[in-house]
């Protein structure tokens, strides 16, 4: 490598490091103290009994989401490792999305993500009506063009209703069988 090439690489690395520091500062300013004072898992259980998902008592950043963050990245920063429903802090949170519209709603622990699809409890209804992505004013399609879940702008809102209806019919048939077996 010539001296000129090394100098160019060094300038590029310096710029990248400065950009990372700048973005981190923007994110810290955006979040402020919104991730502090959140309910514990035990407190979230009490909220759940009142029909309130944990995220509905979190402070929402006053400023707009930094433009360099996607909705999912903004959710990861704001949720800071906490499940939007129960405030647990598992090793991994799953991206919850609406199967009808394909829009990302929030990040949930495995238990809440599984229960969300099966529950009509008031806290889950409240979560679906005002999920974390809505609280942040963000909208993002779940998936990618490679997995068939991403939509083009022209298909937004027309998300494969036939597949959703078929899945719901299949699920209804499965749950009906379990009910019959219980009797």
Place of tokens 């429903």: 85
Contact (Cβ atoms closer than 8 angstroms) between residue 132 and residue 75: yes
Q: What is the pLDDT of residue 144?
A: 57
Classify residue 103 as exposed, middle or buried by CB count within 10 Å of its CB (0-12, 13-18, 19+). buried
Give how far the C-alpha of residue 80 lies from the chain's centroid of Cα atoms, to the nearest Å: 11
Q: What is the pLDDT of residue 143?
A: 76
Is the model's pLDDT at 108 over the cut of 60? yes
Nearest Cα to Cα of residue 109 among 123, 98, 131, 94: 94
Q: What is the pLDDT of residue 155?
A: 42
Q: How many CB atoms lie within 10 A of CB 182?
A: 6
**For the residues of 34-75, what is the DSSP string, one character each?**
TTSS---HHHHHHHHHTT--GGGGSPPPSSPPPTTS-HHHHH
State pTM to two decimals.
Answer: 0.71
Average confidence (pLDDT) over 48-75: 94
- Cα–Cα distance between 123 and 104 in angstroms, integer? 18
Contact (Cβ atoms closer than 8 angstroms) between residue 55 and residue 106: yes
Q: What is the mean pLDDT of the chain?
A: 81
Tokens for 99? 């199967």
Residue 50, CA atoms < 13 Å, CB-side half-sphere: 10
Is the model's pLDDT at 156 over the cut of 90? no
Is the model's pLDDT at 154 over the cut of 70? no
Is the model's pLDDT at 119 over the cut of 50? yes
Is the model's pLDDT at 173 over the cut of 70? no
pLDDT digit string (tens) for 45-61? Answer: 999 999 999 999 999 99
Average confidence (pLDDT) over 63-87: 94
Place of tokens 């991206």: 95
pLDDT digit string (tens) for 92-106? Answer: 999 999 988 899 999
Is the model's pLDDT at 37 over the cut of 60? yes
Band of residue 2 on the pLDDT scale cut at 50, 70, 90: low
Q: What is the pLDDT of residue 8?
A: 64
């Amino acid at each position: 490598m010539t001296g000129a090439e090394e100098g160019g690489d060094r300038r590029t690395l310096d710029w990248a490091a400065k950009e990372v520091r700048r973005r981190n500062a923007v994110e810290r300013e955006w979040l402020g103290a919104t991730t502090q004072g959140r309910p514990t898992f035990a407190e979230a259980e009490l909220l759940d009994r009142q029909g309130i998902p944990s995220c509905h008592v979190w402070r929402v950043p006053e400023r707009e989401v930094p433009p360099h963050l996607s909705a999912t990245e903004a959710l990861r920063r704001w949720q800071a490792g906490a499940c939007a429903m129960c405030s647990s802090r598992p090793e991994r949170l799953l991206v919850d999305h609406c199967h009808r519209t394909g829009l990302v709603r929030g990040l949930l622990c495995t238990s809440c993500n599984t229960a969300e699809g099966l529950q009509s409890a008031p806290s889950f209804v409240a979560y679906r009506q005002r999920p974390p992505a809505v609280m942040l004013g963000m909208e993002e399609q779940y998936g990618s063009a490679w997995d068939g879940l991403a939509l083009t702008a022209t298909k937004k809102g027309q998300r494969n209703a036939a597949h959703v209806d078929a899945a719901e019919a299949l699920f209804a048939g499965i749950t009906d069988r379990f009910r019959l077996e219980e009797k």
